[in-house]
């Protein structure tokens, strides 16, 4: 019977039928041993004839997931920088999802995906500190990467820089602690779930889950650059499928570029937006359908998977009788009743779901840049007409120009639809993934001061000019926001002039020098953030709060 535990049974064989055949066979053993042996051989042949997932392991893989929702009331949300966007409830809870890939006696890497706007250097430092206390030098800043899905509907106040926590009125301990605790615990889960397994990769294209929200800016790229691409935004999804040698598929991580802005700047409910929704859809789909099933409209209600409880499983009329029958078998005489040797334990563990790691699926963010999930275009909220193409304004005002999602005017429906479109493609890539990843595991990590980089620019006719980057600065167009969340006052996208009033306000904080102005040209500087040294005192105070 040990061989049954090594098989990943094809979904075409109902699990209940397999269980019933096992129990019927053991009942037969008590009455007629000879016919029991024949039935056992028949059962094993049936299983072996079915499709099985056999994976020659070359890595140790482990996945984990944990809640990071944090405060859901009276906290400013991170993303839109809107002081009026204060949390007042939960759309759905947020999670951190981790995977670990390791060589049995070599390197390992950890990747954590957060249902949050972004990661934080301060949060990462605290997580690494905790991992070091628990595991020594196994997990460090060199091999642990933490990323956010860019949802604009999570609690803010957990970053270490003043610019990011101005609208939350400073550091928010509850937001910080929820992230640190959840990230640490999902990594612990992934570590404890490490088993021999394999990783497969697959790629595909999604055309209806993103759109370029600055098409006029894209047209400013040289013709030879634009001719390299079919579309003005990235349409490719890349998926990793994780297959445990014993349990079969245990999870997937995919990367696709679209902003977490299906939920608007006026939303007040905590949400993982479209990517958080897609992750929930896929985890529910796998829990309901198991291994090898394709996405089907029959398995959904209203386009989303039916929720299946992971606390109360389906029970059958003879459930207790079957358990009593299984428990009645004793271990062989003179041998200990171990997990391997006990017949009763082996009966229960043929499909021992309690020991199986939970399926984890993460929908990660890639180069989202100007990719918006509001795919219907941009319109003026006062007239219903399209916004100005070059500056995204309505009658000269940026505040009236908004992008529309596919569920317009219902942003919750837009979130569901964009999430479902990513989910559908992920299921397709998951079911057809066949390219196995091989080779050594390695990692690279470095700290780079981007304000002092030397860059060689090639010149026409040969040779090159050596130029330097400069400290960061925010331009006037930055304050205009985007069509996913317009800014305030009279700022406009594409502004390369600025105005006297806001320059006066800027100079009150920090007047940029000639070298900085020349370096940032043609962008007019609104906030010379990279040279605001006086704010470093406050940044150090906020950082100290996290220690």
Q: Among all residues, which ones are annotated catalytic?
A: 372
Phi, psi of 460 (to 5 degrees): -65, 135
Q: State how far the Cα of 283 lies from the Cα of 113, in Å rounded to an integer.
A: 15
Q: What are 538-543's contacts with CB under 8 Å, separation 24+?
A: 538/162, 539/160, 539/161, 539/162, 542/160, 542/161, 542/162, 542/165, 542/170, 542/171, 543/122, 543/160
DSSP state of 266: T
Residue tagged 């499709």 (tokens): 51
Based on C-alpha coordinates, what's the Rg of the chain?
A: 28
Tokens encoding 29: 């053993």
Q: Strand (E) positions, 377-489? A: 378-380, 401-403, 435-436, 454-458, 464-468, 474-475, 481-482, 485-486
Q: State how far the Cα of 256 lies from the Cα of 235, in Å rounded to an integer.
A: 8
CA dihedral of residues 32, 35, 36, 38 (deg, nearest 10): 170
Q: State how far the Cα of 474 lies from the Cα of 528, in Å rounded to an integer.
A: 6
Q: For strands 144-148 and 108-114, give the pairing.
A: parallel
Angle, alpha carbons 123-540-453 (nearest 5°)? 80
Contact 150, 367 (CB under 8 A): no
Q: Where are the alpha helices (H) located in 66-172, listed in sequence order?
A: 121-135, 162-165
Q: State how far the Cα of 113 lies from the Cα of 111, in Å rounded to an integer.
A: 7
- Please state the length of the chain: 547
Q: State how far the Cα of 200 lies from the Cα of 438, in Å rounded to an integer.
A: 9
Give, rounded to a whole angstrom, the gap between the first and last alpha carbons of the chain: 54
Phi, psi of 109 (to 5 degrees): -135, 150
Q: Strand (E) positions, 211-284? A: 211-212, 236-244, 248-256
Grouping H, G, I as helix, E, B as strand and the rest as coil, residue 125 is helix
Phi, psi of 224 (to 5 degrees): -65, -30
56: alpha, beta or left? (left if phi > 0; alpha if psi -120 to 50): beta
Phi, psi of 26 (to 5 degrees): -70, -35
Angle, alpha carbons 123-129-132 (nearest 5°)? 140
């Amino acid at each position: 019977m040990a061989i049954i535990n090594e098989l990943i049974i094809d979904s075409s064989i109902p699990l209940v039928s397999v269980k019933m055949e096992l129990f019927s066979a053991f009942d037969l053993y008590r009455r007629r041993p000879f016919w029991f042996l024949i039935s056992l051989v028949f059962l094993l042949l049936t299983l072996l004839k079915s499709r099985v997932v056999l994976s020659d392991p070359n890595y140790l893989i482990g996945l984990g997931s944990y809640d990071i929702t944090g405060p859901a009331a009276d906290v400013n949300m991170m993303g839109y920088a809107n002081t009026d966007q204060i949390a007042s409830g939960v759309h759905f809870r947020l999670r951190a999802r981790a995977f670990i890939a390791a060589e049995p006696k070599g390197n390992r890497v950890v990747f954590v995906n957060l249902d949050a706007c972004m990661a934080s250097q301060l949060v990462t430092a605290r997580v690494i500190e905790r991992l070091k206390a628990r595991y020594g030098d196994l997990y460090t800043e060199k091999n642990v990467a933490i990323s956010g899905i860019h949802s604009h509907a999570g609690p803010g106040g957990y970053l270490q820089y003043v610019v990011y926590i101005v609208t939350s009125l400073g550091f928010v301990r509850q937001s910080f602690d929820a992230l640190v605790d959840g990230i640490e615990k999902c990594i612990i889960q992934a570590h404890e779930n490490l088993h021999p397994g394999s990783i497969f990769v697959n790629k595909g294209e999604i055309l209806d889950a993103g759109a370029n929200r600055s098409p006029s800016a894209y047209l400013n790229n040289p013709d030879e650059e634009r001719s390299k691409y079919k579309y003005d935004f990235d349409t490719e999804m890349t998926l990793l499928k994780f297959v445990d040698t014993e349990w079969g598929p245990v999870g997937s991580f995919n990367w696709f570029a679209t902003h977490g802005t299906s939920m608007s700047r006026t939303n007040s409910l905590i949400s993982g937006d479209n990517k958080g929704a897609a992750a929930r859809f896929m985890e529910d789909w796998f829990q309901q359908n198991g291994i090898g099933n394709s996405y089907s409209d029959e398995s959904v209600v209203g386009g989303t998977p039916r929720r299946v409880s992971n606390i109360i499983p389906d029970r059958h009329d003879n459930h207790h009788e079957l358990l009593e029958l299984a428990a009645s078998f004793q271990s062989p005489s003179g041998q200990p009743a171990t997990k391997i040797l006990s017949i009763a334990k082996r009966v229960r563990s043929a499909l021992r779901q309690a020991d199986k790691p939970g399926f984890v699926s993460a929908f990660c963010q890639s180069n989202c840049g100007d990719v918006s999930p509001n795919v219907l275009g941009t319109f003026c909220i006062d007239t219903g007409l399209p916004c100005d193409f070059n500056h995204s304004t309505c009658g000269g005002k940026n505040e009236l120009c908004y992008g529309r999602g596919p569920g317009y005017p219902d942003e919750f429906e837009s979130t569901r639809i964009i999430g479902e479109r990513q989910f559908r493609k992920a299921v397709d890539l998951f079911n057809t993934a066949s390219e196995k990843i091989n080779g050594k595991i390695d990692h690279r990590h470095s700290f780079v001061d981007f304000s002092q980089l030397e860059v060689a620019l090639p010149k026409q006719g040969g040779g090159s000019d050596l130029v330097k980057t400069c400290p960061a600065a925010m331009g006037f167009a930055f304050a205009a926001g985007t069509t996913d969340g317009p800014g305030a006052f009279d700022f406009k996208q594409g502004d390369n002039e600025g105005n006297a009033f806001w320059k006066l306000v800027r100079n009150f904080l920090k007047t940029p020098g000639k070298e900085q102005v020349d370096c940032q040209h043609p962008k007019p500087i609104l906030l010379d953030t990279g040279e605001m040294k006086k704010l470093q005192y406050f940044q150090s105070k906020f950082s100290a709060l996290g220690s």
